[in-house]
Structure 1
Amino acid sequence: MGHGGVPIYLYVIAFFCTCGAIALSLLHIYRHLLNYTEPTFQRYIVRIVFMVPVYALMSFLALVIPMGSIYFDSIREGYEAWVIYNFLSLCLAWVGGPGAVVLSLSGRILKPSWFLMTCCLPPLPLDGRFIRKCKQGCLQFVILKPILVVLTLILYEKGKYKDGNFSPTQSYLYLTIIYTISYTVALYALALFYVACRDLLQPFNPVPKFIIIKSVVFLTYWQGVLVFLAAKSGFIKDADEAAQLQNIIICVEMLLAALGHFYAFPYKEYAGANIGASRGLSASLAHALMLNDFYHDTVHQVSPTSMSCGIVLHTYITCSQTRRRLGPLYDYM
């Protein structure tokens, strides 16, 4: 038997699944970097695909070194937020950026829907404010998650945090509630954006991409919560065994995710593209790792002046459309 009463053969399965997942993902990233013909899209794809090595390695290390699991889990959870940001950024890049989305959706509304839980709200205009709210819904998770990870580590060192301990005197319960709210808001923002831009995203085959991202990021989170609830209910021996089983399951799932990424984010569609020439492996990797896009995007979204800029953009777009309709008469006016 391994740590926490888990059979040793499960550790062997986790090891081979981890090695396979990391090897497949690194090969996938390598192929993208060799065919880095659309940097605007592929920088986000490389970051998303790298989630598999991070998830798999951190889960396996937490499995074999349980005393350090809190630190390995923190790295894995921090990368979750990064994946959400990059996926939304990729979707916006596909449709030409926020300005192009506003232009394409100008005059359209999102009708009240039971499925989207907007049945009690008036129709939502698909304008710059709507896109901004979707981005903010994802960015709050990106910003909040690392803060909660640091807070978790501090509380752990003070003996106030233990995975799976739902006692009111421990912080796990309260952090899980905050995590859940933040997760839900981010997921809801992604869902609203997808429904609004579904027609624009259709040429990029977004459905498998949405499925694999949500499966890895959101379902693994709920999977962890359910495993710890099973331990609390007595179906699993204790929280330590629950944590070990969760790590083993993630290692296996990452092998499946690595295979899914090949289908959802194929490098072949960029190979030999006429859009641009690959800049070389090292230069492509450096471009993918640069964080200037995240910095500028975050500053723009939290800046109080960005709303005014959005209104100006919307006004400009409206005037441009009016100008095209009126033609010479507009110039005369």
Structure 2
Amino acid sequence: MNTDKIKKFLAFMSCISYAIVVLIVLPLCIYEKNRDHSTKVEAWFIGGIFVMATLPVSMYGIIKHALHYSKPHLQKYIIRILFMVPIYALNSWIVLKFPQTSIYLDTIRECYEAFSIYNFMMYLINFLKHEVPDFEIIKYSKRNIRWLCCLPACENGVSVLDKCKFGVLQYTLIRVITSFIAYVSEIFKVYNEGEIDFRFLWSYVAIANNFSQMIAMFCLILFYTVYRKELAPLKPIRQYLCIKFVVFVTFWQSILIAILTKFGIISTNQWPYFPTIIDTVNGLQDFLICVEMFIASIAHIIAFPVSPYLIDERLNWLSNIANAANVSDLSYEVRSHYDHFYGKVKSALRKAKSSETVANSNEDANEYTRLVIETQDSYGIQTQIENDSVDLIVEI
């Protein structure tokens, strides 16, 4: 009974808090719209309506998982993934109104996208480790697994797990590096976000991110293919599609808009919300994200339901969310993979050095043998000369 009362109280307070926010934000949006009749403000106003519809749906899923935190080894990653939608929605809405913040907020959003893909991978791995009986035996029983025709086969399931985890983790690291490059290049006015022009760095950053993202997505698909039977109770396909949808929205959609704008298919005349080409690319992307995140919020609630975790109720939901926000596991994975990679490089260098030493020793031995033979040959010739001289003297 106590539990029900607390749950009702939390639900009531959540509704009151959201109502207060709406009562403050919505009038401000209406005031701004009436003050400035530009179509850009209209886009911002419409996007704001979708954002305000997105937030309660997303927060409902997050709080439900935080209340029924019966399996932290899985729900920690689910909460992080669910936070992806409100972060993207709010970010896009703010950037739509203040486009000068785009370089800072959009790169943070993109880093969180990569972080979400990493969390989905860890969610699958933890399900196998904690929920599948005899997984330690199963992963060694899978052998000679092919990646692609041009790549050597993986020895067993353990090798697949490690390689796929690293393939996903590298996307998180690459995103951080390219975000730093974006910040620096924007300071020196050589970034030019949203426009395909190889005189500026945005095109190169987009290619690097695209390639890294393709590797991460390929690793996720390969991992599912190898462990499809064990992952079946989790139904990860719909979860993967939800994340893939958000990834498409935040990256491929921006590339598509940039290409269409580059070839004049989308122009500022057709989209008067935004006055310049770059504003068109970035603004249209942010406006569409505001709308699409409402769909994504509903899809995420369906894909990551709370029903499998209704075993227990932990009403200290704020500490559960704080637990999900602790990213020490990411730093541990980065250190582990760095140590593993550094160990392999060190071992390879040591082997190369040993081979070089052996080769040098063989060369020295061969050189010594050659000198001995030459000396012997020279000595033989000299002896023959001396013998001939002796014979000559005797004859005289």
Fold shared, TM-score > 0.5 on shorter chain? yes
Deviates more, 1:162-171 or 1:100-109: 100-109
1:65 matches 2:101: no
- Is there any run of 5+ residues in structure 2 with no aligned partner, and where? 1-32, 268-276, 345-396
Contact map agreement 1:49 1:261 (CA 8 A) in 2 = yes
Partner of 1:10: 43
Check if 1:193 corresponds to 2:226.
no
Q: How many matched pairs? A: 299
Do 1:85 and 1:142's aligned partners in 2 also have CA atoms closer than 8 Å? yes
Whether the 8 Å contact between 2:58 and 2:82 is mirrored in structure 1 is yes
What is the deviation of 1:107? Answer: 3.0
Question: Offset at 1:103?
Answer: 2.6
2:213 to 166, 171, 183: 183
Which residues of 2 match residues 138-217 of structure 1 at below 5 A?
138-217=168-247
Question: What residue is the counterpart of 1:287 in the other structure?
Answer: 323
Counterparts of 1:22-61 in structure 2 under 5 Å?
22-61=55-94
Aligned counterpart, 1:124: 154
Amino acid at match of 1:297: E
Name the structure 1 match of 2:294: 255
For 2:309, which of 266, 270, 277 is the aligned residue? 270
TM-superposition CA deviations, 1:157-215 (whole Å, max 9, x none): 11001112222221111111111111111111111111111111101111100110111
1:299 alignment partner AA: R
Q: Note closer, same or farther for the CA distance 1:220–1:119 as it changes in structure 2 (3 Å cut).
A: same
Quick check: 11-20 or 121-130, which moved more?
121-130
2:261, 2:281 within 8 Å by CA — same for their partners in 1?
Answer: yes
1:236-265 CA-to-partner distances (Å, cap 9, x unmatched) read 222211211111111111101100111100
Q: Distance in 2 between matches of 1:101 and 1:87?
A: 19
Q: Quick one: structure 1 residues 122 and 162, their matched pair in 2 at CA, closer, same or farther if it must change by over 3 Å?
A: closer
- In structure 2, relative to structure 1, the CA distance for the partners of 1:32 and 1:172 (3 Å cut) is same
Mapped partners of 2:214, 2:135: distance in 1? 24
Alpha-carbon offset, residue 48 of structure 1: 0.3
Partner of residue 106, structure 1: 140
Check 1:111–1:283 CA distance in 2 against 1; reply closer, same or farther (3 A cut): closer
Distance in 1 (CA, whole Å) between partners of 2:249 and 2:137 is 34
Alpha-carbon separation, structure 1, partners of 2:202 and 2:258:
11
In 2 relative to 1, CA 66–31 (structure 1 residues): closer, same or farther, beyond 3 Å? Answer: same
**Aligned partner letter, 2:58:** S
In structure 1, what is the Cα distance between the partners aligned to 2:128 and 2:342? 20
Contact 2:85 2:293 survives alignment (8 Å): yes
One-letter identity of the residue aligned with 1:40: H
Tell me: CA distance 1:100–1:298, structure 2 relative to 1, closer, same or farther (3 Å): farther
Larger Rg: 2
Is 1:220–2:256 an aligned residue pair? no
Cα deviation, residue 121, structure 1: 4.5
Asked if 1:299 is matched to 2:335, the reply is yes
Using the size of structure 2 for normalisation, the TM-score is 0.70
TM-score (norm 1): 0.83
State the secondary structure of the residue aligned to 2:307: coil
Please give the root-mean-square deviation of Cα atoms over the aligned residues, in Å: 2.5
* CA distance in structure 2 between the aligned counterparts of 1:88 and 1:304, rounded to whole angstroms: 19
Contact 2:95 2:101 in 1 (8 A): yes
Percent sequence identity is 30
Could you tell me how far 1:142 is from its partner in structure 2? 0.8
Structure 2 CA distance for partners of 1:93 and 1:247, relative to 1, 3 Å: same
CA contact (8 A) 2:77 2:123 kept: yes
Quick one: higher RCO (CA 8 Å, sep 6+), 1 or 2?
1
3-state SS, counterpart of residue 304 of structure 1: helix
What stretches of structure 1 move > 4 A for 4+ residues in a row?
5-9, 97-102, 120-123, 305-308
Structure 1 residues not aligned, in runs of 5+: 309-333
